[in-house]
Amino acid sequence: MKRFAQTINIIDATKLLSYLSQIEVPVMVSAMEIYMLLPKTNCKKCGLPTCMAFAVGLLGREKKVDECPPLIEEKKYEAKLKKLREVMAPIEKASETGLIIHPEKCFGCGNCVVACPVNVAAEPTRTAVGLGPEGEKVILRVEDGVVVVNNLKECKRFGPNKTLCNACTATCPSKAIEFV
Ligand code: SF4
Ligand code: SF4
Ligand code: SF4
């Protein structure tokens, strides 16, 4: 923890911004955004009672775009279908179920800790401004000079509302974090 604090102190804002600019922008699509691209008729042909239920199913990857017959078959939804396929592509690509740390490669710089959007949201007055986290809600923290994973269920890459977040791997200079 001490090593982490020392390192964070020397990360200046320019360096941090440079790291953040390399990050693949997480796709933060919501169920409502997906719903807006559906026919919104609640016809139930997908097997679900409402289009919103289908949107949630798409987000959780329990449903596929092709399971909405009106969207596929009716010409008037062509533009929505195209947009929905674009929006869904990154979600469908996120196929990992875990995150592992290679401790021999980690040197405790803390870049991943301050870049993780869950960490930033959990500690807006600490990780959001480049300081080491103090609470238990964060996913990544540095202990004894090596990053450790906590609360993986909160990771934006996994779980029912996954996105293609890669802020931690993109900001790690030594490839010490791997999605598996
Ligand atoms: S089939 Fe499509 S339009 Fe009908 S309820 Fe399901 S998502 Fe909505
Ligand atoms: S992939 Fe998960 S752990 Fe990594 S930065 Fe995103 S939310 Fe944080
Ligand atoms: S995993 Fe990478 S970015 Fe995170 S503390 Fe270790 S070396 Fe730094």
Confidence bin at 173 (pLDDT 50/70/90): very high
Domain of residue 46 covers: 31-93
User: Mind listing the pLDDT tens digit for each residue in 91-122?
Assistant: 676 666 678 899 999 999 999 999 998 999 99
How many A from CA of 6 to the centre of ligand 3?
14
Mean pLDDT of 55-65: 82
Q: Ligand 1 within 6 A of 108 CB?
A: no
d(CA 46, CA 168): 36
Q: What is the pLDDT of residue 155?
A: 86
Please answer whether residues 51 and 70 qualify as being in contact, where contact means their C-beta atoms are separated by less than 8 angstroms.
no
Q: Which residue has the higher pLDDT, 151 or 78?
A: 78
Q: Quote the tokens at residue 57.
A: 């199913």
The residue type of 115 is A
Q: What is the pLDDT of residue 96?
A: 60
pLDDT of residue 26: 42
Same domain for 175 and 101? yes
Residue 32, pLDDT score:
87
100 and 14 fall within a common domain: yes
d(Cα 178, Cα 23) in Å, to the nearest integer? 15
Do 103 and 159 sit in the same domain of this protein? Answer: yes
Categorize the per-residue pLDDT at 5 as very low, low, confident or very high, splitting at 50, 70 and 90.
Answer: very low
Cα-to-centroid distance, 132 and ligand 3 (Å): 13
Instruction: Yes or no: say if 4 and 138 are a contact pair by the CB < 8 Å rule.
Output: no
Tell me the CA–centroid distance for residue 110 and ligand 3, in Å. 6
- Between β-strands 140-143 and 146-149, what pairing exists: parallel, antiparallel or unpaired? antiparallel
Our CA angle for 162, 166, 101, nearest 5°, is 105
Which position has the higher pLDDT, 127 or 7?
A: 127
Over 50: is that where the pLDDT of 12 sits?
no
142 bridge partner residues: 147
Residue 170 neighbours by CB under 8 Å, 6+ apart: 19, 22, 23, 24, 115
Is there a single domain that holds both residue 89 and residue 103? no
Higher pLDDT, 176 or 15: 176
User: Are 111 and 154 in a shared domain?
Assistant: yes
Tell me which of 93, 112, 141 is where a domain ends.
Answer: 93
* Residues 85, 133 within the same domain: no
Q: What's the gap between Cα 158 and its chain centre?
A: 8
For residue 7, the model assigns a pLDDT of 41
Domain count within the chain = 2
Ligand 1, atom 6: nearest CA belongs to which residue?
46
Statement to judge: residues 103 and 170 lie in one domain: yes
DSSP string, 121-177: HH-TTTGGGTPPP-SS--SEEEETTEEEE--GGG-TTSSTT-----HHHHH-TT--E
pLDDT recorded at residue 18: 52
Q: End of a domain among 93, 111, 136?
A: 93
Mean pLDDT of 59-71: 88
Average pLDDT, the chain: 81
Tell me, yes or no, whether 78 and 163 share the same domain.
no
Q: Are residues 115 and 175 in the same domain?
A: yes
Ligand nearest to the CA of 140: 2
**Same domain? 108 vs 146:** yes
pLDDT at 140 over 50: yes
- Looking at the structure, tell me whether residues 168 and 111 fall in a common domain: yes
> Where is pLDDT greater, at 7 or 151?
151
- Residue 151 CB partners (closer than 8 Å, separation 6+): 118, 136, 137, 138, 139
Highest mean pLDDT out of 42-46, 97-101, 156-160? 42-46
Handedness of CA 108, 109, 115, 121 (dihedral sign): positive
**DSSP bridge partners of 178:** 100
Q: Tell me if 157 CB under 6 Å of ligand 2.
A: yes
